[in-house]
Chains A and B, each alone.
Chain A
């Protein structure tokens, strides 16, 4: 979590207008999910290159984000290739049609995860939430989302410290004890969150808070050159996807 947040704030593109990155990441995500699955890897590959070469996110950080979902995918997708039938007793069999569906889902999902990683690693959550206000979400709710984001990091740190302290005192040895420890930690965190929130409220009130967190922003302009390049890339990928042949069916 810390890793993602760090690169989201500090990458080669962080001085550019966030709208450019949002357009690129969401455009690629859309292509990865909406196009026929054989073309999805093109969008995924573009996302990887954009993150590593464009935004300068280190490979290790990128892999760390993608590794867990990729693992789930490897574990879960083969199930789609199995088919069950119970008309004449329970029968479990490999199905070529299922294998094709599984391959499609895996390609689409892996490519989409690469695009999600690009989005998460280059755009800070605060900048993703800001456009919500223009989309009609009430300002009060948007502000609540930002406050939650702030508190999540504070609270996650407490949770980690608590977990470490419990582990050091053998609180995680055995199922019974670790369950009890988790419950103690969790219930203690709620009080923690309130104390933290209360202090924040007090601090804000002391500074004349009237409902809007005004922050000084660096004026960032859209660059016509970069926008043009992004649109061109997306359009090129769309065309390439349209001309690509569909996935071959499983050889039988």
Chain B
């Protein structure tokens, strides 16, 4: 779901950067304040960031027989909150560009907006709604992670459709085109990511409850 380096026309790349920056700055201010008031949260937060990066490089089975990678946006949003996730997600995306040549610098803004802003906020909102409506923990986590992933790829489709409107049918046609291509590959992946996140949360609450508690103090 990363838009690769240089794929977006320059004006689009600049515009999406401008859209993403306020979210990242807001998250950065929160983060800097937390770090100033409680310096002991620095290393748990660094651990969380590194964890998010490695998680996104983890292989998960894909239906087509090949393997794919989770986005980790859902889990990140549930663990750190969507505001801090904007900063951690930006760092992860930057490192993916610089260490794996995955994504890019000029498209960083667009990718941050879809993966570190829209995905986490949707996941978080779904989580609150589901829990408010009385859903159990696994159901809430599943819905949040799946819909967070889903929202990310819808946003990516919108970004691509705006940049490359269809010659015949314009933005709508392009959106339908990108969504339908993504649907083949991404809807099953969103479901897999939902399942993976439920399993991970189950294992974590079973084996590392103390770590999760520490995180609550940090983020």
Interface residues of A (CB under 8 A from B): 1, 4-5, 26, 29, 32-34, 40, 65-66, 68-69, 72-73, 79-80, 82-86, 93, 95, 97-98, 101, 105, 108-113, 115-117, 119-120, 125, 128, 137-138, 140-141, 143-145, 147-152, 154-156, 159, 163, 175, 178-180, 182-191, 193-194, 196-198, 200-201, 211
Tell me whether B106 is interfacial, beta carbon within 8 Å. yes
Do A33 and B10 contact each other (CB < 8 Å), given the known contacts A79-B181, A159-B54, A178-B61?
yes
Query: How close is A114's CB to chain B, nearest CB, in angstroms?
Result: 9
> Do the beta carbons of A182 and B196 come within 8 Å of each other?
yes
Tell me whether B183 is interfacial, beta carbon within 8 Å. no
**Complex-state Cα separation, A175 to B67, whole angstroms:** 10
Do A194 and B98 contact each other (CB < 8 Å), given the known contacts A95-B167, A113-B5?
no
- What residues of B have a CB within 8 angstroms of the CB of A147 in the complex? 42-43, 46, 49
- What residues of B have a CB within 8 angstroms of the CB of A201 in the complex? 40, 43
The 8 A CB mask of B7-18 against A (1 = contact, 0 = none) is 101100100000
Do A112 and B5 contact each other (CB < 8 Å), given the known contacts A65-B101, A120-B101?
yes
- What residues of B have a CB within 8 angstroms of the CB of A111 in the complex? 6
Within B99-156, the residues touching A (CB, 8 Å) are 99-102, 104-106
Within B194-219, the residues touching A (CB, 8 Å) are 195-196, 199-204, 207-208, 211, 214
> Do the beta carbons of B98 and A159 come within 8 Å of each other?
no
| Cross-chain contact of B59 among A117, A152, A163, A188 (Cβ < 8 A) | A163
> Do the beta carbons of B192 and A200 come within 8 Å of each other?
no
- What residues of A have a CB within 8 angstroms of the CB of B13 in the complex? 33
Most buried by A among B4, B5, B164, B208: B5
Most buried by B among A143, A163, A182, A198: A182
Tell me whether B81 is interfacial, beta carbon within 8 Å. no
Query: How close is A170's CB to chain B, nearest CB, in angstroms?
Result: 14
Tell me whether B162 is interfacial, beta carbon within 8 Å. no
Do A113 and B101 contact each other (CB < 8 Å), given the known contacts A155-B51, A184-B203, A194-B214?
yes
- What residues of B have a CB within 8 angstroms of the CB of A101 in the complex? 164, 167
Tell me whether B97 is interfacial, beta carbon within 8 Å. yes
- What residues of A have a CB within 8 angstroms of the CB of B95 in the complex? 125, 148-149, 152
**Complex-state Cα separation, A183 to B58, whole angstroms:** 10
Within B36-76, the residues touching A (CB, 8 Å) are 36, 39-40, 42-51, 53-55, 57-61, 63
Do A141 and B203 contact each other (CB < 8 Å), given the known contacts A5-B99, A73-B4, A84-B173?
no
- What residues of A have a CB within 8 angstroms of the CB of B43 in the complex? 147, 197-198, 200-201
**Complex-state Cα separation, A58 to B68, whole angstroms:** 29
- What residues of A have a CB within 8 angstroms of the CB of B55 in the complex? 186, 189
- What residues of A have a CB within 8 angstroms of the CB of B169 in the complex? 83-86
A-B residue pairs in contact (CB < 8 Å), sample of 11: A4-B98, A69-B5, A85-B168, A105-B7, A105-B164, A138-B28, A141-B28, A145-B91, A175-B63, A178-B59, A197-B46
Do A180 and B199 contact each other (CB < 8 Å), given the known contacts A4-B101, A85-B168, A193-B51?
yes
> Do the beta carbons of B6 and A112 come within 8 Å of each other?
yes
| Cross-chain contact of B31 among A34, A69, A144 (Cβ < 8 A) | A144
Residue of A with least CB distance to B11: A34
Query: How close is A173's CB to chain B, nearest CB, in angstroms?
Result: 10
Tell me whether B187 is interfacial, beta carbon within 8 Å. no
Residue of B with least CB distance to A96: B167
Most buried by A among B42, B50, B97: B50
Beyond A179-B195, A193-B48, 8 additional contacts (C-beta under 8 Å) are A82-B177, A105-B7, A140-B31, A150-B46, A155-B53, A183-B203, A197-B43, A197-B47
Query: How close is A63's CB to chain B, nearest CB, in angstroms?
Result: 11
Tell me whether B26 is interfacial, beta carbon within 8 Å. no
| Cross-chain contact of B60 among A97, A109, A178 (Cβ < 8 A) | A178
**Complex-state Cα separation, A143 to B36, whole angstroms:** 12
Residue of B with least CB distance to A26: B105
